[in-house]
Structure 1
Amino acid sequence: MMPSRTNLATGIPSSKVKYSRLSSTDDGYIDLQFKKTPPKIPYKAIALATVLFLIGAFLIIIGSLLLSGYISKGGADRAVPVLIIGILVFLPGFYHLRIAYYASKGYRGYSYDDIPDFDD
């Protein structure tokens, strides 16, 4: 025969514990858990993306002018590295600025959470 369970804190056997029924309107949820908090805008990351975008665009323009011969007659040996660096700097800046723009306009599927935040 098993011993009866007791509530150790009060010493009351569990068979004598009174239970109360929850109200029928309480489904266990509260309204606050469904409210969205306003998005935190990562200003530093957007500023960095803007700087990358501008530097990349500048390097692409300079590289294309070098390649076409308008700046100097150095040829492709100077122009190609400048173009490659310009493209590598331009792409992340453009990508994050596009996400920031779409998030600011409220497009579906875009949010400021997709941009890495440097405030940690």
Structure 2
Amino acid sequence: MSLHSISDYLDDLTMSRRRGPKNDGYYSKLPTSDQGFTDAQFLVPAQKIPWKAIILATMLLIAGTSLLVFGFMVVMGHISIQYAGRMWPMIILGALMFIPGAYHIRIAYYAYKEVPGYSFDDIPEFE
């Protein structure tokens, strides 16, 4: 048995211990003799769609839009309410909800249409 084959055996043995009991299929042994690139580093994993984040962004967009429309209609006089001065906080809250909702829905739409530069990885996930 040569020294090279013993070191390969020990490398395999130590790598199998580091891997742990759970193997999700993401582990691939790199060749020890090649000093260049491997094909595994250029593989793009499949994108997971963050449904919870998209639903939250949709709710933010709908609530923000409705608050903005209602607030602007009160301020412009189309709807008369006794305390019209309280509508400015509603407009500010509507803008704070509308902006991130519209931004993340736009990213999700472009990622769905596979526009270059957009992916579902740009949307934060919630667990």
Same fold (TM over 0.5): yes
The alignment yields a C-alpha RMSD, in angstroms, of: 2.2
- Return the index of the structure with the highest Cα Rg: 1
Aligned residues: 97
Aligned mate of 1:64, from 69, 72, 80: 72
5+ long unaligned stretches in structure 1:
1-6, 11-21
Does the Cα contact within 8 Å between 1:66 and 1:78 map onto a contact in 2?
no
CA deviations 1:68-100 (Å, max 9, x no partner) are 122214465122111111001100000100111
TM (normalized to structure 2)? 0.67
Residue 91 of structure 2 is aligned to residue 52 of structure 1 = no
**Structure 2 partner of 1:100:** 108
Q: Please say which of residues 89-98 and 29-38 is displaced more in the overlay.
A: 29-38
Partners in 1 of 2:123 and 2:117 — Cα distance?
A: 13
**Structure 2 partner of 1:40:** 48
Match runs of 1:104-115 below 5 Å: 104-115=112-123
Identical positions, percent: 48
5+ long unaligned stretches in structure 2:
7-32
TM (normalized to structure 1)? 0.71
Return the letter of the residue paired with 1:81: P
